Amino acid sequence: MTWRDEIARRVRGEAWRDAPLAPRTSIRVGGPADLLVRPADAGDLVELLAACRRLGVPWLALGGGANLLVADRGVRGVVVRLPPDLGEEGGGEGRLVLPAGAPAARLLARAHAAGLTGAEFAAGIPGTLGGLAAMNAGTRAGEMKDVLTRAEVATADGLGWVEAAALGFGYRRSRLPELGICTRIEVALRPGDLEAAREAMRADLERRRATQPLSEPSFGSTFRNPPGDHAGRLVEAAGLKGHRIGGAMWSDLHANFVVNRGGATARDVLALVRLARARVRERFGILLEPEVRLAGAFAEDEGIW
């Protein structure tokens, strides 16, 4: 029996072999997963992770794929995608507990229904709540670490809550998924002026629509902003706004966004990113650090960033 048979036989949830990942990422690039698994519940997920450990099979947590560049050759091992309702919702006294597989928009919907504010920064950030926690996603208005109090995490050894202080939050980073797969998050919010909160969200979404190429497939900001500057400004100043390699292009609307103009490969995207890094370093002496995460088996001649 192969490892795929063994795992597919053990999990109660659904499992797909050679599952295309490009449609599960926002930039629509990349090859298939050896095995894509959607566990039935948290117990099933722990069982899956234990089987991976026993069989020596690597796993990758996939959220909404809004911050991932998947290799053209795909991802070896198991890719885990949580269902949107894995784990119970809860709350009380300004706190909300939500499933990590739920879309980010659910946080705002539940918060506002409970009369709570403070998570408006998440409006317009695509992805799942687990992905937002893992990336410490946010904007100038706030980020996940401002509201997240603890995360429920599954490992091969079981399920448990990890306090925010142990999650290693930094600028667009955390210790997830290194610590395991986040199954639920708890956030603390405060009662506030809902009309003002909705107005702030509307203004933010309008600003995004005017400044970001939202109608084209992308993975959002490619690079982190260097201290005191903007990556988009630097890529533009390096003369690359609108520059195209294969099907990938530095957006002519926002030069920190790579867009897929049709048929882009991970190789195209990497070449574009490497070009920008080299040019910005050469012209301005700044080495831009990618915010986007790489997933899968990149060929040696593709290099990485």
Ligand X SMILES: Cc1cc2nc3c(=O)[nH]c(=O)nc-3n(C[C@H](O)[C@H](O)[C@H](O)COP(=O)(O)OP(=O)(O)OC[C@H]3O[C@@H](n4cnc5c(N)ncnc54)[C@H](O)[C@@H]3O)c2cc1C
For ligand X, the binding residues (CB under 6 A) are: 26, 60-68, 82, 100, 125-128, 130-132, 134-135, 137-139, 172, 176-177, 181-182, 212, 214, 218-220, 293
In the complex with ligand X, the residue whose CB is nearer, 152 or 279, is 152
Phi-psi bin for 160: left (phi > 0), alpha (psi -120 to 50), beta?
A: beta
Could you tell me the smallest distance in angstroms from the CB atom of residue 195 to ligand X? 23
Other Cβ atoms within 10 Å of 87 Cβ, number: 22
Rounded least distance, CB 178 to ligand X, Å: 9
What's the CA gap between 297 and 61, in Å, rounded? 15
User: 158 to each of 42, 56, 79, how far by Cα in Å?
Assistant: 9, 18, 19
Residue whose pair of structure tokens reads 């890719």 in the numeric block: 79
Residue indicated by tokens 């292009």: 249
Instruction: Give the residue with the Cβ less far from ligand X, 207 or 283.
Output: 207
Exactly one of 152, 174, 186, 221 is catalytic; which is it?
A: 221
What's the gap between Cα 155 and its chain centre? 19
Q: Which amino acid is at 3?
A: W
Name the residue nearer to ligand X (CB basis): 102 or 279: 102
In whole angstroms, the minimum distance from the beta carbon of 182 to ligand X comes to 4
Q: Cβ of residue 25: shortest distance to ligand X, in angstroms?
A: 7
> For the chain, what is the total number of helices (H) and then of strands (E)?
8, 19
Residue 172 known to be catalytic: yes
Selected catalytic residue, list 28, 172, 267, 277: 172
**Would you say 21 or 116 has its CB closer to ligand X?**
21
Catalytic residue numbers read 172, 221, 291
